[in-house]
Chain A
Amino acid sequence: MGIADIPIFSMLRTRMEWHQSRQKVLAENVANADTAGYRPRDLVAPNFERETQRPVIGVSLSTTEGGHIAAGATDRAPFRSRAGGYEVRPTGNAVSLEEQMMKVAANQMDFQAATSLYTHSLNLIKTALGRR
């Protein structure tokens, strides 16, 4: 069982992947900020409430004793995207640069929070291993 299979790490990884994909979508929006007829898109945030309660599907190791940690293959679907933008210019373009910049900043800060959490969680494991 790898470190990535521990729930907190897998969740943080999902979160980071989501931020990564979102950054890409935001870059598309900004690059096309002056393209006629372009409508911006955004990604729907992953729902972890469901993630934490969901039984592990796919091929997984069975837990026969209380001390076992469940490890499984979780193949996730790509993140869902949704159309955004409510302010359409005469050219049919609905990208608002200010809005996109706000989203980029928020995305970056949330990503930093996720990486910090990841680092701290790693430190927790290192402490448990007695390597600190």
Chain B
Amino acid sequence: MDFLRTMAIAASGLRAQAGRMRVISENIANADSTPARPDADPYRRKLLSFTSEFDREIAARTVGIGRVRPDTSDFRLKYEPGHPAADQNGNVKYPNVNSMVEMTDMREAQRSYEANVNLITATRRMLQRTIDILKA
């Protein structure tokens, strides 16, 4: 039944976008997680990649969550001499999380999620129309 497969594909998209949301929320929540000691590193931003995988059972390319990798860009330095994690110059390492980037990423995830939901709704309606033939 192709319609049920369609829904399975869209569901894989929902799952992937939800996983992306999880990583984004993790980044946003830890946007200000400073280290406890001057020589330690703060929270490092996480990056998630999607992989397209061929599902043999439904004979279609569904989407899956690839590896979650750390963002290797530099940490933000802030001058806060009184901070317990400040180095000799009074700088504190803040996570390399940019809330603006996370926000746009979040909107994109939301948009993709909605698109997948839309597809499920449309498919359900089509399935309903097929069943309606029986009632005629």
Contacts and interface: CB of A to CB of B under 8 A. Distances in A.
B69 interface: no
A36 B50 contact: yes
- 8 smallest A-B Cβ distances: which pairs? A31-B13, A27-B9, A119-B136, A20-B2, A115-B129, A35-B50, A27-B6, A31-B63
Range of interface residues on A (Cβ < 8 Å):
20 to 34
Chain B binding surface SS class: helix
A21 B92 CA distance: 56
A23 B122 contact: yes
Contacts, number: 104
B37 interface: no
A104 B132 contact: no
Interface in B65-124: 108-109, 111-112, 115-116, 118-119, 122-123
A37 B125 CA distance: 31
A33 B129 contact: no
A31 B133 contact: no
Contact of A34 (B5, B108, B133): B108
Interface string B16-38: 11001000000000000000000
A38 B9 CA distance: 15
Contact of B136 (A30, A31, A122): A122
A107 B123 CA distance: 10
Interface string A62-84: 00000000000000000000000
Given A24-B2, A27-B123, A35-B50, A123 B116 contact: no
A28 B122 contact: no
A119 B49 CA distance: 46
Interface in A56-105: 97, 100-101, 104-105
A28 B53 CA distance: 11
A52 interface: no
Contacts of B13: 27, 30-33
Given A16-B130, A23-B123, A97-B112, 6 more contacts: A17-B2, A24-B2, A27-B9, A27-B10, A112-B125, A115-B129
